[in-house]
Amino acid sequence: MKGNSNFQRHNTQVIYRDSPEVEGGPPPATTVVKDVLTTMSTPITLLDITLLSQLRKDGHPSVYGLDGKHGNDCSHWCLAGVPDSWNELLYAILVTTD
């Protein structure tokens, strides 16, 4: 997307379920973390929000420019969006877990 110095310059493309990024499976670090958690003596629950965040367009920061300055503006995309979904999932886990 083309923009001027006051508006959005780039926009992250949505990753769909059949995209190569998703078909490749989780990042290797995710698999390692899950393996370690299953071997721990204290039960640990991992709320893996990776795929959820990948599939949402508002889960990706974009580059914005204002007054000739450029930088990632994650709060522009993330507030009142993806973190709300994470919080709802966490709340559901907390109220349904014994």
- The full length of the chain comes to 98
Q: What average pLDDT score do residues 54-62 get?
A: 63
Examine the pLDDT at 97 and tell me if it is beyond 70: yes
Q: What is the pTM of this model?
A: 0.52
Q: Is the pLDDT of residue 92 over 80?
A: yes
**pLDDT value, residue 95:** 93
Q: Parse the chain into domains and list their residue ranges.
A: 20-96
SS3 at position 63? strand
**Burial label, 59 (beta-carbon count in 10 A; 0-12, 13-18, 19+):** buried
In this structure, the strands spanning 69-72 and 63-66 are antiparallel
Does 88 score more than 50 pLDDT? Answer: yes
- Which range among 16-30, 56-70, 74-88 shows the weakest confidence by mean pLDDT? 56-70
What band does 3 get if pLDDT is binned at 50, 70 and 90? Answer: very low
Q: In this predicted structure, which of 1-15, 34-48, 51-65 has the lowest mean pLDDT?
A: 1-15
Closest of 25, 60, 56, 23 to residue 34, by C-alpha: 25
